[in-house]
């Protein structure tokens, strides 16, 4: 955003922050420092929130735990909702009905943030693309900061922002549900495929949340869209900003495409080769799409092609995203713990020709695992399943390849290695959330990598 949004005067206001996760605590601290009277509300019992409660006490911020007190919401001037909190929560609905302003942490931060904003969303590829854009801009010498869903709450980046800063933000559908005024100068929408069906009533509801990133854009803003995504191709015809496209299959008139040998960026006034595919280290067609999107965003803020190409030559990917962990006796182990939906798992499977020992399972998000059947039959040698969704996965993928149940991830890794032969790939691409066994997908990925390290020492 070239100019900050309307200055929200929070001093003296009563604000309820819902949820004690990372963004909730950051929002509470941000508001408290600006003179607001803040209370943080969480439904979990205090014994599960010891570190969070200690943080709030240390910063003299009020809190309520073990449930949400309706009176707190009705007395508030403003309610700030953490991404993990569903808007159908009864106290939030009553706050809406009583006329309270209810916004998300991203919206709160955006009203204070200075400089330009690049917002990046999509069902898959967000973190890789966000990281890549950030690296391209830093290499080019721009004052750059990266945050949002990638791990750094946006409110914690406000104070160091300046009119010259470019803030690159990874945005989830949850964060995009509550943005009445948030407007990125450049909105990047990578893809929209089924995800979080345990939270949304329908795929259309989920898609609408993703498309919210475009709703406040103006004619001077830019939207970077995937030409191969049917929803985005249709949406691009009716947006209020300038559309730039990216593709790995078709030439585009405005944006970036790959012609099989190189990435080419096109604008109304130029057509230029940015980088050669042979120099890039990332695996998979999906990563070529991520790269094309990142090139487009970087060129739109005038990052030089030489620095973009330099970044691509050295960029090896992001942890937990199709990450090569090790090779043991000719067997390669890949950690794609971030593959928390079936579409991400499809992209991971498409990155290898065959010989895959696939580890699937975790907490189901309302997925239909049958969409994996053709690729599992074609490329997977053995399927190791675990977690809450294992029974459903086993049922929906039965009759294709041998399936083995594992009690935990370490056992699954050991089983896969025992079944593997030189040239094979052990792939963790769970197609599920991690919360049945782990704190988050990062925790799951670390456990997998630790399990592989133990195999190396055995």
**Catalytic residue (one of 149, 216, 290, 382):** 149
Residue 309: CB atoms within 10 A of its CB come to 19
SS3 213: helix
Asked whether the beta carbons of 290 and 118 are under 8 A apart, the reply is: no
CA 215 to CA 405: how far, in whole Å?
Answer: 45
Which one from 39, 68, 124, 126 is the annotated catalytic residue? Answer: 126
Task: Give the number of other CB atoms < 10 A from CB of residue 372.
Answer: 25
Residue 153 near residue 113 (C-beta atoms within 8 A): no
| 199 in Cβ contact with 86 (< 8 Å) | yes
Choosing from 196, 320, 338, 347, which is the catalytic residue? Answer: 196
User: Do residues 35 and 66 make contact, with C-beta atoms less than 8 angstroms apart?
Assistant: no
> In the numeric block, which tokens belong to residue 239?
């947006």
196 is catalytic: yes
| Local structure of 255: helix, strand or coil | strand
In angstroms, rounded to a whole number, what is the distance separating the alpha carbons of residues 332 and 264?
33
Is 191 among the catalytic positions? no
Give CA–CA dist 119/305, Å, rounded: 21
Listed in sequence order, the residues at least 6 apart from 422 whose beta carbon sits closer than 8 Å to its beta carbon are 329, 330, 331
286 assigned to active site: no
The residues that are catalytic are 126, 149, 196
């Amino acid at each position: 955003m070239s100019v900050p949004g309307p200055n929200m005067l929070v001093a003296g206001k009563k604000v309820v922050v819902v949820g004690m996760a990372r963004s909730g605590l950051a929002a509470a601290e941000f508001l408290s420092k600006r003179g607001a009277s803040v209370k943080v509300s969480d439904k979990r019992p205090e014994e599960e929130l010891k570190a969070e409660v200690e943080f709030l006490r240390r910063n003299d911020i009020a809190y309520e735990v073990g449930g949400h007190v309706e009176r707190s919401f009705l007395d508030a001037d403003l309610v700030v909702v953490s991404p993990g909190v569903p808007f159908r929560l009864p106290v939030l609905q009553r706050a809406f009905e009583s006329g309270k302003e209810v916004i998300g942490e991203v919206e709160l931060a955006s009203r204070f943030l200075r400089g330009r904003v690049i917002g990046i969303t999509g069902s898959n590829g967000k973190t890789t693309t966000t990281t890549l854009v950030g690296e391209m801009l830093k290499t080019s010498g721009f004052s750059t900061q990266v945050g949002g869903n990638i791990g750094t709450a946006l409110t914690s980046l406000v104070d160091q922002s300046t009119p010259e800063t470019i803030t690159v933000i990874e945005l989830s559908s949850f964060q995009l549900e509550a943005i009445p005024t948030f407007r990125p100068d450049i909105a990047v929408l990578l893809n929209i495929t089924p995800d979080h069906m345990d939270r949304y009533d329908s795929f259309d509801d989920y898609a609408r949340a993703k498309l919210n990133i475009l709703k406040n854009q103006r004619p001077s803003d830019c939207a970077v869209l995937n030409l191969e995504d049917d929803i985005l191709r249709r949406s691009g015809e009716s947006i209020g900003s300038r559309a730039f496209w990216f593709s790995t299959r078709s030439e585009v008139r405005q944006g970036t495409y790959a012609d099989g040998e190189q990435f080419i960026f096109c604008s109304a006034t130029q057509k230029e080769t940015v980088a050669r595919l042979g120099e890039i280290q990332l695996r998979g067609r999906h990563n070529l799409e991520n790269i094309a999107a990142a090139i487009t965003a970087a060129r739109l803020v005038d990052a030089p092609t030489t620095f973009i190409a330099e970044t691509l030559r050295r960029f090896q990917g992001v942890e937990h995203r199709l990450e090569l962990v090790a090779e043991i006796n000719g067997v390669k182990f890949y950690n794609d713990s971030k593959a928390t939906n079936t579409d991400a798992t499809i992209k991971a499977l498409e990155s290898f020709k065959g010989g895959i020992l696939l580890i699937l399972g975790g907490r189901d998000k309302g997925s239909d695992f049958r969409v994996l059947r053709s690729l599992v039959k074609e490329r997977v040698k053995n399927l190791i399943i675990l977690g809450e969704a294992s029974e459903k996965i086993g049922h929906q993928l039965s009759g294709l390849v041998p399936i083995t149940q594992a009690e935990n991830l370490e056992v699954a890794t050991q089983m896969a290695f025992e079944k593997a032969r030189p040239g094979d790939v052990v792939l963790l691409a769970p197609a599920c959330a991690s919360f049945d066994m782990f704190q988050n997908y990062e925790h799951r990925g670390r456990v997998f990598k630790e399990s592989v390290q133990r195999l190396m020492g055995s």
